[in-house]
Amino acid sequence: MKGMSIIVKKVAQLISGLIFLYGIYIITHGHLTPGGGFAGGAIIAGAYILNILAFGSDAMNLKNKEQGSSLSESLAIFIVLMLAVFALFIGSKIFFANYLPKGQLGEIISAGAIPLYNIFIGIEVAAAIITIFLALVIFKEEVKK
Amino acid sequence: MNSLIPLFVIVPLATSFLIMILGKFINGFQKTITPLVLLFLTVLSFYCLLNNHSNSYTYAIGGWEPIDNIPIAIYFVMDGFSLILLCIISLIGFLASVYSISYIAKFTSENNFYSLLCLMITGMSGVVLSGDLFNLFVFLEISVISSYALVAFGTEKEELEASFKYQVLGGIASFIILFAIGLIYWRTKTLNIADISALFHSHETSTFDLFIQILLISGFGLKAAMMPFHAWLPDAHSSAPSPISAMLSGVLIKAVGIYVIIRLFFTMFIVSEEISLLITTLGTISMVIGVLLAIGQWDIKRLLAYHSISQMGYVVLSIGIGLVLLARGVKPTVATLAIAGGLFHMVNHAVFKGLLFLNAGAIEHRINTRNLKEMGGLSKHMPVTSGTSFIASMAISGIPPFNGFFSKLIIIIAAVQAKFYLVAFLAVFVSVITLASFLKFQRYAFYNKSEHRSTSKIKEVPFPMLFSMIVMGILCLAFSLLAFPGIREQILGPAIDVLTNPNQYVQTIIGI
| Rg, Å, chain B Cα set | 22
Please check whether residue B21 touches A, CB under 8 A.
yes
- The whole-angstrom distance between A78's CA and the closest CA on chain B is 6
pLDDT at B509: 78
* Phi, psi of B418, deg, nearest 5: -85, 5
Could you tell me the pLDDT band of residue B12, with boundaries at 50, 70 and 90? Answer: very high
Task: Indicate which of B4, B7, B10 best probes the interface with A, i.e. most A CBs within 10 Å of its own CB.
Answer: B10
End-to-end CA distance of chain B: 17
Look at B3 and A93 and tell me if their CB atoms are within 8 Å. Answer: yes
The reported pLDDT for the residue numbered A37 is 85
How many domains, in total, are found in chain B?
Answer: 1
Domain housing B236: 2-510
Confidence of residue B109 (pLDDT cuts 50, 70, 90): confident
B134 in Cβ contact with B180 (< 8 Å): no
Q: Is the dihedral of CA B208, B213, B340, B194 positive or negative?
A: negative
Mean pLDDT, range A120-134, rounded to an integer: 91
Length of chain A: 145
- Name B374's bridge partners: none
Q: Which of A101-105, B67-71, B114-118, B457-461 has the highest mean pLDDT?
A: B114-118
C-alpha distance from A23 to closest chain B C-alpha (Å): 25
Q: How much is the pLDDT for A60?
A: 64
Is 80 exceeded by the pLDDT of residue B452?
no
Q: Is A77 on the interface with B (CB under 8 A)?
A: yes
Which of the pair, B458 or A29, is modelled with greater confidence?
Answer: A29
Q: Is the pLDDT of residue B270 over 90?
A: no
Give the rounded distance of the alpha carbon of B496 from its chain centre: 18
- Over the stretch B277-318, which tens digit does the pLDDT of each residue have? 999 999 999 999 999 999 888 898 999 999 999 999 999 999
Q: Where are the beta strands (DSSP E) in B107-194?
A: none
Q: Is A116 on the interface with B (CB under 8 A)?
A: no
What pLDDT digit, counting tens, does each position of A18-49 carry?
Answer: 999 999 999 998 888 888 889 999 999 999 88
Give the pLDDT confidence score for residue A111 in this predicted structure. 81
Whether B22 has its CB under 8 Å from any CB of chain A: the answer is: no
pLDDT of residue B456: 64
- Whether the Cβ atoms of residue B196 and residue B209 lie closer than 8 Å to each other: no
Q: Which residues contact B365 (CB under 8 A, 6 or more apart)?
A: B102, B103, B242, B461, B465
Furthest-apart CA atoms within chain A: distance in Å: 58
pLDDT at A91 over 80: no
Residue B250's contacts (CB-CB under 8 Å, 6 or more residues apart) are B88, B92, B349, B350, B351, B353, B354, B357
Decide: helix, strand or coil at residue B130. strand
pLDDT grade, residue B378 (50/70/90)? Answer: confident
Between A74, A84, A98, which is nearest B21 by CB? A74
The confidence band for B455, taking pLDDT boundaries of 50, 70 and 90, is low
Answer whether B14 touches A (CB < 8 Å).
yes
Half-sphere exposure of B99 (CA within 13 A, CB side): 31
Cβ partners under 8 Å of residue B402, min gap 6: B352, B391, B394, B395, B476, B477, B480
Top-confidence residue, B32 or A103:
B32
Distance CA B316, CA B344 (A): 12
User: Cβ–Cβ of A78/B18 closer than 8 Å?
Assistant: yes
Compute the average pLDDT of residues B257-285.
90
More confident residue, A11 or B487: A11
